[in-house]
Amino acid sequence: MNDAIRLASYAMDVTHTRGRRFPEAQHPYRNDYARDRDRVVHSRAFRRLEAKTQVFTTRFSDHFRNRLTHTLEVAQIGRTVAGALGLNGDLVEALALVHDIGHPPFGHAGERQLNLRMREHGDFFDHNLHALRIVESFEQRYLDFPGLNLTFEVREGIVKHSRDYSAAEFPELSEYLLEERPPLEAQLIDVVDEIAYNAADLDEGFEAGLVELNSLIDEAPVFARAYANVERSHPRSEKKLKFNGALKEILDHSVTDLIENTRAEIQRAGVDSVEDIRRNTKRLASFSEEAAAENAQLKKYLRAGLYENPAIVQDRERSVAALDELFLLYLEHPQKMPRGYTERARTEPVHRVVCDYIAGMTDHYLLRQREEQFRMRASE
Ligand code: MG
């Protein structure tokens, strides 16, 4: 295919894929990574991203981002970075679109609570590994195989895009070359994710009235500089547009830095092939030191000014409490779950089945279930 001609020597060429668990005939018009991308888009877990929130619940606004629109932003930025570096755009897109499908309801707070409950049973919850279970077995759509039967590199990217896992601790993941770095296509997802949510959270925090312009200017010099540039070029514009202008500048600057620094890292490391990328001791897709520090400023501001804002915390605590109540209820009464899960709970550890059921829920569905279950309980 023509695409292959434009790929850099260190890009993941789809014709070198380690393949699928269940071999399939080639498609006449779509390569394997393009097919993986399309399977993700057609999956149920992908559609559920629409009703999973990141920071703001729908109580704040109905036009804020949800996990689905966040995911589309990651895919769009990812494609730009892939194109600039000569990487495989189809693989990047597949990995970007799948990167959040393992998230339980209520974002990281929901994940922490599930993990806490699982630890009481000597188990754990991790969204990357949950995503792998989704694509390997929970999605049942195809006649000839369980799950989505994705290529090795997409499954590997699901596991390894944001962190390393040791084979000693996770022997069940040993097929994913845990001693090696993933291809650049997977490495860049985590950085792009961060670029996307920093800009998004500032944007929405400002719109919700929780991020205050002057405090942001005081605490994040990177924002102060961008805002001063906008003030110079558009002194009479509306405040909201100037804020957006500054955010756009930061986003563009971060993406450019990621592209240029990664290119420089590739040269410094002298890598020339995917095997070199894999064997390199560190990940090469990264910000420069300067951009990493600027990014840290924004994160620090967001943590104190937004994520720990009482309005957000209150909302989050209420949501997590609902998740927790449901977990304990199903643990004690597995028959209250839908039949498929009740049946699984006869042969598998109940906490694991309950965790899988809850992790798959959208925010709305969880709140509705909680209401229904406890109303029923009160009338029993
Ligand atoms: Mg994400």
Digit-coded pLDDT (tens) for 47-93: 999 999 878 776 777 788 899 999 999 999 999 999 999 999 999 99
Flag whether pLDDT at 288 surpasses 80: yes
Task: Tell me what pLDDT residue 60 has.
Answer: 73
List domains and CATH numbers for the chain. Answer: 2-312 (1.10.3210.10), 313-379 (no CATH)
In terms of DSSP H, where are the helices of the chain? 2-6, 32-41, 44-48, 67-85, 89-98, 107-119, 127-133, 152-160, 184-207, 213-219, 221-233, 239-269, 274-279, 289-302, 310-332, 339-347, 350-360, 363-379
Closest CA to 261 of 190, 201, 188: 188
**152: CA distance to ligand 1 center in Å?**
21
**130: CA distance to ligand 1 center in Å?**
14
Taking the C-alpha atoms of residue 211 and residue 124, their distance in angstroms, rounded to an integer, is: 34
Three-class SS of residue 146? coil
Residues at Cβ < 5 Å from ligand 1 ion:
100, 193
Digit-coded pLDDT (tens) for 190-220: 999 999 999 999 999 999 999 999 999 999 9
> Region 365-374: what's the mean pLDDT?
93
User: Could you tell me the pTM of the whole model?
Assistant: 0.94
Digit-coded pLDDT (tens) for 243-261: 999 999 999 999 999 999 9
**159: CA distance to ligand 1 center in Å?**
14
Percent of the chain with pLDDT over 90: 88
Digit-coded pLDDT (tens) for 129-157: 999 999 999 999 999 999 999 999 999 99
> Region 119-128: what's the mean pLDDT?
96
**43: CA distance to ligand 1 center in Å?**
17
Taking the C-alpha atoms of residue 301 and residue 222, their distance in angstroms, rounded to an integer, is: 11
Question: Tokens 């990014």 identify what position?
Answer: 295
**373: CA distance to ligand 1 center in Å?**
31
**348: CA distance to ligand 1 center in Å?**
30
Task: Tell me what pLDDT residue 380 has.
Answer: 64
